[in-house]
Amino acid sequence: MVLCITSHFKMVGFFTFFLCSFLLLSFPFSDVLVVQAFTGTYGVNYGRIADNIPPPESVVTLLKAAKIKNIRIYDANHDVLRAFRGSGIEIIVGLGNEYLRDISVSQDRAIEWVKLNVEPFLPGTLIRGIAVGNEVLGGVDVELWEVLVPAVRNVYNALDHLRLSDRVEVSSPHSEAVFAITYPPSAGAFKESVLPYMRPLLHFFSQIGTPFYINAYPFLAYMSDPAHIDLNYALFLKNPGVYDAKTKLHYDNMFDAMVDASYAALEKVGFSNMEVIVSETGWASKGDENEAGANVKNARTYNRNLKKRLLKKKGTPYRPKRVVKAYVFALFNENLKPGPTSERNFGLFKADGSISYDVGFTGLIPSSASSVLGSIELLARVVCGAVVLMLI
């Protein structure tokens, strides 16, 4: 039975994928209004795989105090969307990988999802985009590769049907696993195995004006090869840099190099005008013994320097006129995330809302206040203990 169901999905996936590819290439869109889903250059990913973080209402207060105007969430949680009503903060919601198969074969299911998770919250909550899937292409589940394009198309058509396509962008973020090579930046190229699925996706996105979203982590690159990667290059600190002989461009940080590798890869498949936005980047403040560079000092340095770099509103060496935009991962440390220790320690803020380290933000509870409160609590316990002993 399981084999039959799997075979059915595989057959439907291939048929739908190639049908959508044909339609996309044969019937170009016209009169499509491009949605701008990002205000400014700096945003944050608001992950919630935790049981100890502040409620959404407090998160709104935190973000407004930090003047953060853009966030991404990984679902379409109604409590979060209600809490952000009237906040002025722009949100990209997530449609999880687990929905892709269903939505890829059913336009009605896509309309139903949008009616339930997007339409009721507009215009009060500024939902600016739907991220359809996360890191699908290049991932281990190849069947999801086959259904991504039809799922994306159905979500867009659902928005169009509900007259929301001029307000809500449709996108799909990728990991570095989609690339065969990224060094030097000009050599950036997609994997051959990914291209049959990436090309029609990029073609569709070029028609509706969606940027290429990439999760780019200098931390992960450094951690995988600390013997050959200069830590200062990964942290935006002074270093000799990297010279790209083909373009004759010099790179003084890995973040810019990763963005330009994406531009190079897009150029090689005919999408040189597509914008690149970094959907995730960050640095872990704690890790396991084999996770090189995961500590508070490096996390603070990377995120502080990244923030400075983004606020300059400048481009990269290869695309100097295209201002770089990025979402930092993540807002909070998430104590229930599986995997290595680093996965639970990417937060700019601790679970109580205080800052994890200083990058120029003010937490719900100042770090000094947290320390004072902790000391008061400890003193109270000591005093109470002494009183009890005296009574005995």
**Catalytic residue (one of 135, 146, 169, 291):** 135
> Which three-class secondary structure state does DSSP give residue 360?
coil
The helix (H) or strand (E) run that includes residue 132 is: strand 126-132
Q: How is 80-97 classified by DSSP, letter by letter?
A: HHHHTTTS--EEEEEE-G
Q: Spell out the residues 6+ positions from residue 232 whose beta carbon is closer than 8 angstroms to its own.
A: 238, 239
Q: Where do runs of H (alpha helix) occur along the chain?
A: 2-26, 56-65, 78-83, 100-104, 107-117, 142-161, 195-208, 218-224, 231-234, 254-268, 296-311, 367-391
CA 121/CA 166 separation, integer angstroms:
16
**Catalytic residue (one of 90, 280, 291, 334):** 280
Q: Is 143 a catalytic site residue?
A: no
CA 331/CA 63 separation, integer angstroms:
9
CA 12/CA 9 separation, integer angstroms:
5
Q: Is 90 a catalytic site residue?
A: no
Tokens of 97: 């990988």
Tokens of 157: 């058509």
CA dihedral (96, 102, 107, 110) in degrees, to 10, reads: -30
Q: Which of 165, 172, 99, 97 is nearest to 131 (CA)?
A: 172
Tokens of 347: 């937060």
Phi-psi bin for 293: left (phi > 0), alpha (psi -120 to 50), beta? left
Query: Checking DSSP bridges between strand 126-132 and strand 90-95, what pairing results, if any?
Result: parallel
Task: Confirm if 313 and 307 have CB atoms less than 8 A apart.
Answer: no
CA 159/CA 33 separation, integer angstroms:
12
The residues assigned a catalytic role are 135, 280
